[in-house]
Chains A and B, each alone.
Chain A
Amino acid sequence: MSPTHKLASGRIVRLGLCACGLLLAAAGQELQPSSGINWRGYNVQESTAVGARSAVYNGSASNYDTLVNLQSGARLYDFSLGMRSLQPAGGLFDSFSLSGFGLGGDPNTVVRLQAAKGRWYRFDGTYRHDRYFFGYNLLANPLNPASSNPALPVTTALHNLDYARRMGDYHLTLLPEGRFHIRLGYSHLAESGPSFTTVGASMAPAVAEVGTTTQLFQGYATSTDLYRAGFDYLVARRTRVSFTEVVQHTKGDTAIEDQNLLYQLSNGTPLDLGVVFNTGGGTPCAAPIANAATTPPTANPACQGLISYTGDQRPRLTMPTEQFGFQSGYFSKLALEGLFSYSSGVNSAANSSTAWAGLNTRLGALGNTTSGQDRAKRVLVDGDLAAVYQITPKLRLSDDSSYNSFRLPTQFGFAAVNQFAQGGGAITLLTPAAVFSAATCPAPYTAATCPQHSASAPADAAQGTALEYLGQNLATETVQLGYNPSQRWGGQVGYRYTYRSIYDYAAVDYAAETFDPGGATGALAAARGDCALPKGGTFPASLPAGCALQADGAVVFSGQTAASDASHLQAVAIHGNSALASAWARPTPQLRINAGVEAFTADQAYTRITPRQWQHYTARVQYQPIAWLQLNASGDALESRDNVAEVNNRNHNRNLGFAATLSPRSSFALELSYNYNNTYTQALVCYAFTPAAAGTSACPIAGSPVGLGSLSTYSDKSHFVNADLMAQPLESLTLRFGVASSFVNGVPLFFNLSGAPLGNFLNPLTPWGPLRFNYQQPYLSLNYAMTPHVAYRVDWRMYNYFTHGNQSPAGLAALGGQNFDASDADFSIRFTM
């Protein structure tokens, strides 16, 4: 192509770009790749791309932000600065590079800095910043029915979050090529931002739970600092030992607060009625709105609700870890390596607290305040040893031994105070709290000013310690024999033995759990909870051990609760055996084939979905019949099961993929790929569903606390297609376009409720959710090199998320659409030196 032709072509393209609203500088220089400039003994190369993005989207904005989150605005798309010494030894550094992308508001920003000076030092630094937004509203959605009055759908994610995460990793190696290296490092991770969580029932010791399921604002803040220091020492020929000390310090400063006070009581007190509205089912009550004409609406005080909820936890973790490693190739036929670690740390919070005020109608409770001290210790011992012995040039034996053991003894020293309403009528949100004293609640403890205790009410006050323990020993031994008779094929067979034992216990030890009397049953009301009378027992003679009647009528329990288990028993021991085999072949230099299988069986399982047997098959083929064509294929199948009768768990994940890459010349390349994936899981589950729907069946598992059961299944089948075409019609013009599309079709939560409306879901209102959709991402880019140092680039990418099926099933308050389509266009100019 003549220079004149190049210029003419360049003008045509530039005219097109001007039509897009951008005026570009004229170009006329010879187009040659930039090789940088030489400056003060360094070759310097620099590249910067600046521009702006236009992002337009229709449909669900929260789903767009969850999945894509690219917004409009000016951007520093990427930059790089590289300096390389022209002499064998430079000044402060022999090589230096600084690069990054995404600056100016993109959700993903990365900056990397590297510098090295021969045998003196090497520095690697990475800083990453990302926005993590989640607003997908179908997850944890209570699916409020349309029949509720009022019908209030949850159209935004209850666990909405918008975090900023900053990660920095910095590593300095001194004397990197010497016999003795020193390694220093520092990492920082901070995650913070506004988010929402929810609160509902509680199982915490002696805590009166809230009666309302609601959304809470969460000011999320957590950070970790990691300090590393260590050395490597070449003690003998090809033999290195190393030691590393790592100190991790993590702190959390998350506070939560109820800001969902959208209603008021008749006295003007702001009120939260929660997020679950199913008035037909009595949530938050049959008629929650007393007066809709006020601003905000006035709530029915007989409803459950929250006047306030606060929570504060500030845990601090300090965890040092010592690591000793070695690696040796001292013996020509034997390669050895090992790594041994010991880590011990304590996560503690001096004063964690939660408090709520409102009404739990079931308990007659008006509030709770809990505070306490957390202390969770972690001790980890880890050892790994690997040896590879080359018996002959064709035959080798390898052995891997791993041992990992952790212990987590933890405790929570708590003090809890629960508030109960006074009597004299129905308990409402306006009922004053009772104070138990000789003056306000004299014997026989039936006065209206006494706290009104139901039989299920927790203690009025409690002090104690919750103790927990979890430990695991895991040992693995793998032996493999490899045989590579030629450069054409080879393989190996092996055996792996795994032993795992898990220990746990949980106990609650009360210093004093105080049950005040009061209520319809008077003095007898104090005999509840851990001090409940046995059937037919008399008060106070039959009070359980550890319970003592006090002079004021209260019953105080001290000691460990009946449900405690501090026996430190082994929960489970699992022996596993695996057979391994793999083979590779290169029948010709152009063809590579790999295949492998591992078959595992164990005599026990820890959870119901921990497989007792699994087989994993893999195969890959790579074929390059001609220099410009490469074909790839892969197959992967994982079949697993915990197929004891009471679980009937079966799973598979089957994947098949093909790819072809054609690059007949440097100005043209085409890549095509297709992937099919099928995931399936099933397990027998039992649940409460009262009244039982047609088609339900009894839980077949003896001792189940709930009555119904069936086989639940999940299946998704996804097809992924990708086409990517690069063409360079002119030396200065590069075009690229393609598409990446996923098509997913699945069936969630199948309970064999053949008679249930709208299919076979546990809840007939459950929408299909994320399992029937197309997600298509076509894209196009144009890069025009106007001069050797200036290039113009346009990138356009479309995102189309389209769900199938009924998004608003009849009977469900409308949740809003899940679909979106977006068009993002980036216009940038790259300056290169």
Chain B
Amino acid sequence: MLFLSAALAAQQKPAALPAGYAGAAACRSCHTERTHSFQANPHAAAGAVLAAERQAGRPQVAGCEACHGPGQAHVAAMEAAGGSDAAVEAGLRQHPIGSFAPGSAEVLDSQPCLGCHQGRRETEHFAHSTHADNKVVCLSCHSIHAAQTVRTLLRAAQPALCYQCHLAQKAQFNLPFHHRVNEGLVRCSDCHNPHGSFIPTQLRTAAAQDLVCFTCHEDKQGPFVFEHEPVKTEGCLDCHSPHGSPNPHLMTVANVNQLCLQCHTASSFSGAPGTPSFHNQATQFQACTLCHTQIHGSNLDPAFTR
């Protein structure tokens, strides 16, 4: 709101304000507490604001009015009110300023933020993100003046913030086998870009445009001489539940053999070979992965045993 540092910079090198703007100093005279607490806000960095304004192609307005809009009329109305509540209310009605109150147009729209942030790499996808499609806007997750995280200005830290809407994922991350999101080792935003991506479910990619899973599980990335083809063509989710599972190794089913047999049963259209007759399950149960240990791919054996 109040870009104090920008204002200070402006004081050092005065520049004419565009018509209708009052300047941050005018805001500070009434909204003192907000001004003080705003010093630690990343938006207080003058250089960032001014440069972003330049990038946005707008007048180089820094400080509160960069987000709240021109305030000269608002300031004049408040001065004219002279402390009368009725006059203040009347002045606000006549000369409204971006209030960001619950339900206001500003809160329901990401444009005030995207004016500066859309050009950033992290947020460039937002216009066609799933969140944007569902009217989950910037201020649904971020709070400029009451943030719980210092740098990203989130309303709550991950994963609690994400769990507010994604209730299923909260349950999944509390199952015995899960990625360590609750423990803080992994963040939701390590795998997903909440501002959107080219991939469904707003997934990120690994460095070489591979599945994001390979960012940490690089030993499954290959390329292998003998690829287990579905790993590359279907992805990891045919066999694993990514957030959490009752089953070890986040498998989609409890028994390895059931998982294998679902594909490795001869059929007219699938290239996956059927289970051979010497795999007699009656004499001795053996999990497929007892022999086929290199199931994600092998450099030595087409059956992934070494």
Contact = CB atoms under 8 A, between A and B. Distances in A.
Contacts of A586: 103, 108, 135
Interface in A301-323: 311, 313, 315, 317, 319, 321, 323
A718 B171 contact: yes
Interface in A114-143: 114, 116, 118-119, 128, 130, 134, 136, 138-143
Interface in A55-104: 66-67, 82, 84, 88, 94-95, 97, 101-102
Interface in B74-129: 102-103, 105, 108-109, 118-119, 121, 124-125, 127-128
A200 B290 contact: yes
Interface in A330-364: 335, 337, 339, 341, 343, 345, 347, 349, 352, 354
Contact of A130 (B185, B198, B221): B185
Interface string A550-584: 00000000000000000000011000000000101
A709 to B, nearest CB: 7
Given A408-B223, A492-B133, A609-B263, 5 more contacts: A321-B209, A388-B128, A609-B262, A742-B246, A770-B247
B176 A773 contact: yes
Contacts of A707: 277
Nearest to B125: A337
A426 interface: no
A734 interface: no
Interface string B163-177: 111111011101111
Interface in A681-707: 681, 683-693, 699, 701, 703-707
A203 B302 contact: yes
A607 B272 contact: yes
17 contacts: A136-B248, A140-B289, A141-B287, A204-B302, A213-B291, A317-B223, A354-B306, A376-B222, A378-B223, A586-B103, A608-B263, A683-B265, A687-B261, A701-B266, A716-B254, A742-B176, A765-B285
A376 B225 contact: yes
Contact of B232 (A232, A240, A311, A470): A470
Contact of B230 (A140, A607, A644): A607
A362 to B, nearest CB: 10
A778 B232 CA distance: 40
Contacts of B174: 720, 722, 740, 742, 775, 777
A766 interface: yes
Given A589-B102, A607-B270, A689 B282 contact: yes
A88 B46 contact: yes
B225 A677 contact: no
A740 B55 CA distance: 47
A344 to B, nearest CB: 10
A228 interface: yes
Interface string B265-281: 11111111011111111
Contacts of B19: none
B48 interface: yes
Interface of B: 5, 8-9, 12, 39-40, 42, 45-48, 50-52, 55-57, 102-103, 105, 108-109, 118-119, 121, 124-125, 127-128, 133-136, 150-151, 163-168, 170-172, 174-177, 180, 183-185, 198, 207-210, 216, 218-219, 221-227, 229-230, 232-234, 238, 246-249, 252-258, 261-263, 265-272, 274-287, 289-291, 293, 299-303, 305-306
A419 interface: no
A658 B270 CA distance: 41
Contact of B180 (A130, A189, A283, A622): A130
Contact of B246 (A128, A165, A202, A716): A716
Contacts of A374: 225, 299-300
B45 A222 contact: no
A771 B50 CA distance: 58
A608 B281 contact: no
A380 interface: yes
A749 interface: yes
Contact of A140 (B48, B118, B151, B290): B290
A644 B136 CA distance: 39
A114 B138 CA distance: 23
A636 to B, nearest CB: 6
A202 B265 contact: no
A705 B266 contact: yes
A263 interface: no
A718 B241 CA distance: 14
Contact of B223 (A347, A582, A605, A744): A347
A398 interface: yes
Contacts of B301: 202-204, 207
A386 B219 CA distance: 32
B253 A681 contact: yes
A398 B268 CA distance: 39
Contacts of B284: 142, 276, 278, 281, 283
A807 interface: no
Interface residues of A, number: 204
Contacts of B52: 177
Contacts of A335: 118, 127-128
B166 A634 contact: yes
B209 A341 contact: yes
B254 A596 contact: no
A499 interface: no
A760 interface: no
Contact of B290 (A84, A198, A749): A198
B233 A659 contact: no
Contacts of A466: 225-226, 302
Contacts of A388: 127-128
A801 interface: yes
A590 B9 CA distance: 40
A458 interface: no
A718 B176 CA distance: 12
A771 B167 contact: no
B168 to A, nearest CB: 4
A348 to B, nearest CB: 9
B280 A689 contact: yes
A607 B263 contact: yes
Among A205, A382, A572, A685, chain B packs the most CB atoms within 10 A around the CB of: A685
A178 B48 CA distance: 9
A437 interface: no
